[in-house]
Amino acid sequence: MISSVQADAFVEAHGPAGRLDIRKAAMRDIPPILDLINHYAAKGIMLQRTEFEMSEAIRDFTVVTQGASLLGCGALHFYSPTVAEIRSLAVAGHAKTQGVGRKLVSALIAEAQAFELDAVFAFTYVEQFFEKVGFQVVERGALPLKAWKDCLRCPKFQACDEIAVLRVLRPGRWNDSQSPIWGQTQGADDLIQLPIPLGGLSIPSK
C-alpha cells in the first residue's frame, strides 16, 4: 500500500542529533503508529488504520525511535513463501531528513532476506526513493484477491496512480523470461502474477 515516505527520507542528517534506534514493533507502539499513519490518512496519502487492524498486524511492523518518540514505521507483509510487500511506510514530518525511511527499508529488506524470500515489492508515489535503495519500477501485474481487501476501501480504487516497485533478493531463483506465479499451492483465483521490471530485469551489483 501507499506510503508517506518522501525522496528526502533517504538523506542522512548532518549535525548533532539523538540516537536513532530501530527494532520490531511492540504492542505499546500501536498508539503512536496509529497517530502517524492516520495523520497521513487524513491527507489522503495512506489508508486509515484501526486499533484492531494494528493489533492483528503489529508483528509485521518495524519502528524507528529517538528516545521516547516514534519517528517512523514500516511493515513487511508476506504474500507467499517467496514474496512479501513493504507497506505502511511512514516517517514523521520532523524526521524526514534523518534517513529514517532508508533505515526502515534496510531493516525490512534484512528481515525478508532472513526469511529467504526471493523478492519484495511496494506501491508508492516516490519511485525515486525506492530506486535509491535498490528497487526497480515494474508492471503492476495481477494481484491476488486477498490483496484487494485494502484497495476496495481506498478512495482512489477506481483511478489508482500508485507505482509498483520491486527488489529481487535472490537472483539465482529469479527468472525474468516469463511471469511465474507467486505461490504454487493456492487456487487459481488466489494467485499473484510476478511483475517483470520495465525494460527487463537489472540486478544491481554489490
In terms of C-beta density within 10 A (0-12 exposed, 13-18 middle, 19 or more buried), how is residue 39 classed? Answer: middle
Look at the alpha carbons of 134, 126, 99, 97 in this order and tell me if their dihedral is positive or negative. positive
Other CB atoms within 10 A of residue 144 CB: 17
> Is the predicted pLDDT of residue 146 greater than 60, yes or no?
no
For 74-116, the pLDDT digits (tens) are 999 998 888 889 999 999 987 777 799 999 999 999 999 999 9
Query: Is beta strand 181-182 parallel, antiparallel or unpaired with respect to 61-66?
Result: unpaired
Instruction: Say if domain 7-192 classifies as CATH 1.10.300.10.
Output: no
Name the percent of the chain lying above pLDDT 70: 64
* pLDDT bucket at 73, cuts 50 / 70 / 90: very high
Give pLDDT, residue 2: 46
Name the percent of the chain lying above pLDDT 90: 41
Domain boundaries, the chain: 7-192
For 19-51, the pLDDT digits (tens) are 899 999 999 999 999 999 999 989 888 888 999
For 167-189, the pLDDT digits (tens) are 999 988 766 433 443 444 344 44
Give pLDDT, residue 1: 46
Whole-structure pTM value: 0.74
**CB-hemisphere CA count at 13 Å for 145?**
5
Q: Which of 15-19, 64-68, 127-131 has the highest mean pLDDT?
A: 64-68
* pLDDT bucket at 156, cuts 50 / 70 / 90: low
